Amino acid sequence: MLAVMSRWEELTGGTSGEDYAARFSALAGTRRDMHGEARFCATLMPPGARVLDAGCGTGRVMIRLAELGYDCVGVDLDASMLAVARKEAPGLPWIQADLATFDPGAVNVAADFDLVVAAGNIFPLLATGTEGAVVSRLAAALRPGGLLVSGFGLDEAHLPVPPSITLPEYDAYCTAAGLSFVGRFATWDADPYDGGGYAVSVHRR
């Protein structure tokens, strides 16, 4: 059976790591805050907590969390993105894997994370039809009481591709995976969600 190509692979060809890193480096040069996701996660768990960065890309979020004292593991399917992450932080654990089939035990990683973060429009860029499987896999990686945090666009203004998942659908996948809703925000600065085109969601195992 052939693997289904993700929307990210269709968009980038899986070779965009250096370009992606350069874009964020340019943004950082404008003094724009680049660490909202890490700061948000740090409000949920104390330093020392185990964090899985699901769809870690070039490692921007995870590297910052590691700097803040978190015990982090990064997972991504895109080898070009991981190559940048490994160059930026060679001492951190970077794993190449498909989130839809990710098994921590298969790569000698304990499935007892305090927090799983899926930032950067991970869910709208998955292979169509795998969203529920990904939520299930990420939920299974959490310890009881652990948190799944995701942030993604809901309309074309906030996505590089047409929208593919709604909040009710995402919440339903979380419920099916045994997660309960904790809260929802409009930004990584925890602004109240007002029905806009981007949402940060928190669910608990």
Of how many residues is the chain composed? 205
Percent of the chain with pLDDT over 70: 85
Chain mean position to CA 117: 5
Task: Report the CATH number of the 7-204 domain.
Answer: 3.40.50.150
> Is the model's pTM score more than 0.85?
yes
Q: Ramachandran region of residue 18, left (φ > 0), alpha (ψ -120 to 50) or beta?
A: alpha
Q: What is the mean pLDDT of residues 122-143?
A: 96
Please name the residues in contact with 27: beta carbons below 8 A apart, sequence gap of 6 or more: 34
Give the pLDDT confidence score for residue 19 in this predicted structure: 60
Interior angle at CA 107, CA 126 and CA 110, nearest 5: 95
> Residue 24 and residue 201: Cα distance in Å, rounded?
23
Domain boundaries, the chain: 7-204
Please name the residues in contact with 162: beta carbons below 8 A apart, sequence gap of 6 or more: 156
pLDDT at 23 over 90: no
Please, are residues 148 and 205 in contact by the beta-carbon 8 Å criterion? yes
> Residue 55 and residue 77: Cα distance in Å, rounded?
7
Give the pLDDT confidence score for residue 2 in this predicted structure: 35
Give the pLDDT confidence score for residue 160 in this predicted structure: 87
Kindly report, residue by residue over 97-121, the tens digit of the pLDDT. Answer: 999 999 999 999 999 999 999 998 9
Q: Is 109 helix (H, G, I), strand (E, B) or coil?
A: coil
Strands 198-204 and 180-185, bridge-based pairing = antiparallel
The DSSP result for 125-193, as a single string, is GSPTT-HHHHHHHHHHTEEEEEEEEEEEE-SGGG-SS-----HHHHHHHHHHTT-EEEEEESSTT-PBP
Structure tokens given for 91: 């001492």
Give the pLDDT confidence score for residue 196 in this predicted structure: 96
Q: Hey, how many other C-beta atoms are within 10 angstroms of the C-beta on 184?
A: 14
Give the pLDDT confidence score for residue 120 in this predicted structure: 85
- Among 49-58, 69-78, 158-167, 194-203, where is mean pLDDT lowest? 158-167
Mean pLDDT of the chain, nearest integer: 90
Kindly report, residue by residue over 27-49, the tens digit of the pLDDT. Answer: 455 555 668 999 999 999 999 99
